[in-house]
Structure formats: C-alpha cells, structure tokens
C-alpha cells in the first residue's frame, strides 16, 4: 500500500508529543500487548470472548496471528497498521508505543476472511479458542457486515477509508493518542477525497464525535432468544472537499 508522504505524523496533544508511523513486524508483540491491555473489559470483548480470563493463551495466540496477518500484508488489503508513540521522559530518543490503529485503505475493501478468524475444525485443533462465545462472535461479525454494506458499501464501495480497529494503552488514555491516529487517517482520506468510515462501540462514540464524525444510527447485535446484546454505531466523516 503506497502511503508515501503520509507515513509519519507529529502531533502535540495535551503537552505530550505523539508521533505516528507505519508499524512493522518488529512491533508485533508490542501491539499485541496494547491490544490485550486495552480491550479487556470493553463491552464487545466481554460479549465475544467471555472466557478470555480462563484461557488467556488461546486469546493471545489468536490475537497475535491476526496482528501478524495485518503486518505481513503489504497490500494493506487486510489492514494497514499505524502506531502512535511518545518520547520517553528520561531519553527523548527512546519512543514508547502507546496506541495502534488498523485501517482498510481506499481500494482495498473486498470481502476478506482472515485466516486467524477461520474456526474450521482443523484450525480449532491447531489453535483452540476456548475463550470465545462462538454464537456471539458470529452475530457480531454478521451485524458488522450488514452495517458496513448498508451504511457505506453501496454508496462508497472502494472509495472509503475504514477504521477497523483502534486502541490505546490504558496508562496513556485520554492524552490524545487515538486522536492523533485518527487525524493521520483523516488527512490521508482528505487527500484521496474519500470519507472515513467506522463502526463504533459506546466508548468510541465520544472520541469520534469530537472529531466531527456523524452517527448513522445504531445496529443491534443479538443472538435470537438471548438476553445479552450490544449495539454498534456506524459513523462517517466526509472529506471537506465534498462539502
Ligand atoms: C477509545 C480509546 C481508543 C480512546 O483512546 P484515547 O487515546 O484515550 O483517546 P483520546 O485521548 O484521543 O481521546 C480524545 C477524546 O475522546 C473522548 N474520549 C476518549 N475516551 C473516552 C472515554 N473512555 N470516555 C469518554 N470520552 C472519551 C474524550 O472527548 C477525549 O477528550 P478529553 O480526554 O479531552 O475529554 C481507548 O479508550 C481504548 O483503547 N479503549 C478500548 C478499545 C476500544 O474501545 N476502542 C474503540 C473501538 S470503536
């Protein structure tokens, strides 16, 4: 994926300098650690992976495979990974990774099935996933697919920049890291003249709204007959050039 001219970004957020750069395979374990620390306890994690505390290794192995897929995919079709860092207070040459984001770049929106997510009997034998509620995972995926197709797919097709995933290390939250990562994506999308699209959870809504995203409603995720449910909110930020 050619992101030439936009790979780096410097942002000064709440007196913390944040740089944004493309992640590489060398960042794999750092990103895994941020993902595991930040998503634990969120509603969508709890819903899909209610047994992750009992089987942390199943959860970590699968998450690691997924991130590795993104990082190995140079086309950006499965995901283009960006990392936010801040200089260490003792030595500004040393950078501390604090947040990451996965983007589906414009022109890469074909329906993709991640190998790490395939739960065939063979895969499950090799990589057991005892952390998941499979019915909830399926319902979540299906709701996301419908929401993306209904709200964005038919209108924008490949001409959108989709934020697939974002999270910040808990110790560094509320200091502008996610904002810096999204601003990187918004600048890229602006230059391409495409909107930024995403599906938010309830925490994300505050973040995206203050960046100018508009909600397009909400989509229920629920297995028939099940009392547990959650909502996802499709959101969009059109490029300035379109107004
Ligand atoms: C959501 C998340 C990525 C935000 O990361 P962050 O680096 O803390 O975000 P920022 O510092 O850039 O936040 C900017 C603004 O967004 C809003 N915001 C961010 N997190 C919020 C929260 N937990 N509750 C309410 N508003 C929040 C605030 O308006 C905040 O500005 P403020 O701190 O001046 O009030 C982080 O909480 C996280 O990793 N959560 C777990 C994973 C997750 O839910 N990801 C979102 C998937 S849609």
The answer as to whether 2 is a domain residue is no
pLDDT-derived band at 129 (thresholds 50, 70, 90) equals: confident
CATH number for the domain including 86? Answer: 3.40.630.30
Ligand 1 touching residue 195 (CB < 6 A): no
Ligand 1 touching residue 200 (CB < 6 A): yes
Evaluate if residue 125 carries a pLDDT over 80: no
Rama region for 228: left / alpha / beta (φ>0; ψ in -120 to 50; rest): beta
The answer as to whether 178 is a domain residue is yes
- Mutate which of 178, 210, 234 for ligand 1? The one with the most ligand atoms within 8 Å of its CB, which is 178
d(CA 125, ligand 1 centre) in Å = 37
Ligand 1 touching residue 201 (CB < 6 A): yes
Structure tokens at 221: 């995720």
CA of 207, closest atom in ligand 1 = 16
Q: What average pLDDT score do residues 216-231 get?
A: 95
d(CA 241, ligand 1 centre) in Å = 27
81 burial via Cβ count (<10 Å: 0-12, 13-18, 19+): buried
Ligand 1 touching residue 179 (CB < 6 A): yes
Strands 196-200 and 161-168: parallel
CA of 199, closest atom in ligand 1 = 48
Would you say 71 and 81 are in contact if contact means Cβ atoms under 8 Å apart?
yes
Can you give the residue range of the structural domain that contains 114?
9-242
d(CA 171, ligand 1 centre) in Å = 12
The answer as to whether 4 is a domain residue is no
CA of 44, closest atom in ligand 1 = 44
Strands 16-22 and 9-13: antiparallel
Comparing CA positions, the residue from 89, 105, 111 lying closest to residue 197 is 105
d(CA 99, ligand 1 centre) in Å = 11
Pure H helices in 193-234 = 204-210
Q: What is the pLDDT of residue 7?
A: 45
Q: What is the CA radius of gyration of the chain?
A: 18
- pTM across the whole model: 0.91
Rama region for 78: left / alpha / beta (φ>0; ψ in -120 to 50; rest): alpha
The answer as to whether 3 is a domain residue is no
Contacts for 104 with CB less than 8 Å, ≥ 6 apart: 76, 77, 79, 80, 161, 162, 164
3-class DSSP state of 6? coil
Q: Whose alpha carbon is nearest atom 39 of ligand 1?
A: 167
pLDDT-derived band at 89 (thresholds 50, 70, 90) equals: confident
Total count of domains within the chain: 1
Q: What average pLDDT score do residues 64-69 get?
A: 92
Q: What average pLDDT score do residues 237-243 get?
A: 82
pLDDT tens digits for range 178-204: 999 999 999 999 999 999 999 999 999
């Amino acid at each position: 994926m050619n992101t030439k001219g936009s790979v780096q970004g410097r942002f000064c957020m709440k007196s913390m300098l944040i740089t944004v750069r493309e992640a590489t395979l060398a960042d794999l374990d750092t990103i895994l650690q941020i993902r595991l620390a930040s998503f634990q306890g969120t509603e969508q994690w709890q819903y899909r992976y209610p047994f992750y505390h009992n089987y942390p290794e199943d959860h970590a192995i699968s998450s690691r495979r997924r991130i590795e897929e993104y990082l190995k995919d140079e086309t950006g079709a499965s995901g283009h990974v960006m990392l936010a860092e801040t200089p260490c207070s003792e030595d500004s040459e040393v950078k501390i990774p604090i947040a990451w984001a996965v983007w589906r770049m414009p022109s890469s929106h074909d329906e993709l099935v991640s190998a790490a997510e395939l739960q065939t009997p063979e895969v499950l034998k090799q990589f057991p996933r005892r952390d998941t509620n499979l019915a909830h995972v399926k319902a979540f995926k299906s709701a996301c697919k419908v929401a993306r197709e209904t709200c964005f797919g038919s209108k924008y097709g490949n001409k959108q920049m989709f934020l697939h995933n974002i999270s910040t290390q808990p110790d560094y939250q509320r200091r502008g890291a996610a904002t810096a990562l999204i601003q990187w994506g918004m600048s890229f999308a602006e230059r391409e003249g495409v909107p930024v699209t995403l599906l938010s959870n309830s925490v994300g809504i505050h973040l995206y709204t203050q960046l100018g995203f508009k909600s397009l409603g909400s989509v229920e995720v629920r297995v028939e007959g099940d009392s547990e449910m959650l909502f996802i909110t499709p959101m969009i930020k059109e490029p300035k050039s379109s107004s």
